Amino acid sequence: MKKFINDILNINYPINPSLIENDARFQERLAVACYYRIKIIGSCAVFLYIFSNVMDYHLPVEQFLQIFILKILVIFIFLYAILFLPAGKGINFYNIAGAAFLWLTAALINAIIIHLTGGYDSYWVMSLSMVMVVASLYPWQLRYEIPAQFITYLFYIVPSLILDNPFNEGVHPFIVNNFYFVGFMFVSASLSYIQYRWLMVDFYLYINLLESKNELESSKESLLMRKREAEEKTAELEKTVSDLSRTKQALLNIMEDLRNSKKEMEETNIQLKKYDLLKSEFLANISHELRTPLTSVIGFSRLLMDDNSLSPDKKEYLTIISQSSNNLLNLINDLLDISKVEAGEMELFVHPTDINFTISNTIYSLSPMITEYKHTVVEQLDQSISEIEADPRRVQQIVSNLLVNAVKYTPQGGQITVTSTNSYDEVWVTVRDTGVGISPENLGVIFDRFRQVDGSTTRKFGGIGIGLDLTKALVNMHGGRIWVESEPGKGSAFTVALPKKYKGKEQKD
């Protein structure tokens, strides 16, 4: 029967009874259910005992009073259980109380009433079956239900066998009543156990709902947390978008300012180019106008110097005039070259050029200036260098500008070293002096036009600051490079790297 009921109850709810029965939470819920079932069963019993007076109305007064007193006793016991049964006790306490109040008390009193009203064939026999049926409202386990039902059955059969001797008077009613009791025992035990199992199912569903609730609460908390995080991120994103919008607007304003500045710069550049062109034309014109009288001055000064009738003082004066005129003529020529470079009119006439010969020839042409400053010039020329493709006149101009600077910026009695070096597809020409040197902050501006290390009107060394600018322009036209290494007080070393093969547009004489 237990297996049959288990199979019925476990169809949709695959519970594990042993795990549930040992769960303290189930024991607590079962105790609460038993507490209320005892009160309900006690109330039903009180009602039935009061209603049973109708069945006993036909009895003699003395017998009726005896039975009524027994009923009053049972009713007081049940009322006590209804009114004073303590709550919050364990399941074992309520099992004992249920057995004492429901079965033992009711069954004992009912057995006495059965004996007083006719024995085993009394109309009160059905009261024991009612006890069984009412007691089935209590959720017993089978190990408790069956012994309790059997004890109730013993309250009928033992007094009947001992006191009433049913076999002498008629066994048929006794047998029928026994089958009747056995049937009620089976029904009552089944109903009670089914209730117990449904309490298990109810607990199983409660636990699952509780776990689901907890999971939902946890999910809710998680979702709320994610919502808060999402709201915070949304606020951050909105702030970022706002910042980006402001930044975008600022960038747009900057771009507009840059466009306006670019436009102004373009207009300024146009004006500067215009002024540059005017300046170049002015330099070219004034240089041309100055060259004509200077040529006459130089020529006539040389003719006068050849006159032996002049006194030494006059010849010295003429020599000074001639040298100053030559210096001025060289300056004018440099200005003309600068103007040609700016106008894109400078042309190179490239020929096979002996670089070592050009260096030696340049040194020789500057020997009067070198002698005047009492310098020593050392030539360290690599004789393995063959001819290179270059404009010999412009190469000589490059070397001459570097040598003139070395002579001017080296104190008297100094040493100037000129070297040529073969370097793969280039030839390096270095002019090294023992002069004043260049400070680190001026190294970046010495190749700028009209810039000198000493730019004051009282400067010691002459010139207007176009020699190195022109030198760099000529080197670049050859596709070469120029750089300087210097240390203040120890001298400078200017190096020019010229390609062996000219890659520009070649001009022929």
pLDDT tens per residue, range 227-243: 999 999 999 999 989 88
Residue 279 lies in a domain: no
Residue 211 lies in a domain: yes
366: tokens are 């500057």
DSSP 11: S
Residue 463 lies in a domain: yes
Domain containing 365 equals 348-499
**CB of 375 closer than 8 Å to CB of 415:** yes
Residue 368 lies in a domain: yes
Distance CA 348, CA 350 (A): 6
Residue 67 lies in a domain: yes
How many domains is the chain built from?
Answer: 2
Q: How would DSSP label each residue in 456-471?
A: STT-SS---S-HHHHH
Q: Are residues 207 and 355 in the same domain?
A: no
The CATH number of residue 419's host domain is 3.30.565.10
Give the residue with greater pLDDT, 167 vs 321.
321
Q: Which residues contact 441 (CB under 8 A, 6 or more apart)?
A: none
Quickly state the pLDDT bin for 207 (edges 50, 70, 90).
confident
Residue 467 lies in a domain: yes
Which of 184, 219, 254 is where one domain is finished?
219
Quickly state the pLDDT bin for 197 (edges 50, 70, 90).
confident
Quickly state the pLDDT bin for 51 (edges 50, 70, 90).
confident
Task: Output the CA–CA distances (angstroms, integers) from residue 67 to 133, 163, 241, in the order listed.
Answer: 22, 18, 94
Query: What radius of gyration, in Å, describes the C-alpha atoms of the chain?
Result: 66
Residue 257 lies in a domain: no
Give the residue with greater pLDDT, 386 vs 179.
386
487: tokens are 């240390």
Give the residue with greater pLDDT, 92 vs 403.
403
Which of 219, 254, 270 is where one domain is finished?
219
pLDDT tens per residue, range 308-326: 777 777 767 777 776 667 6
Q: Are residues 193 and 53 in the same domain?
A: yes
Residue 210 lies in a domain: yes
**CB of 119 closer than 8 Å to CB of 18:** no
pTM comes to 0.44
Which of 190, 219, 248 is where one domain is finished?
219
Distance CA 474, CA 480 (A): 9
Q: Are residues 162 and 23 in the same domain?
A: yes
Place of tokens 């999971």: 215
Taking residues 179-195, what's their average pLDDT? 77
Q: Are residues 32 and 170 in the same domain?
A: yes
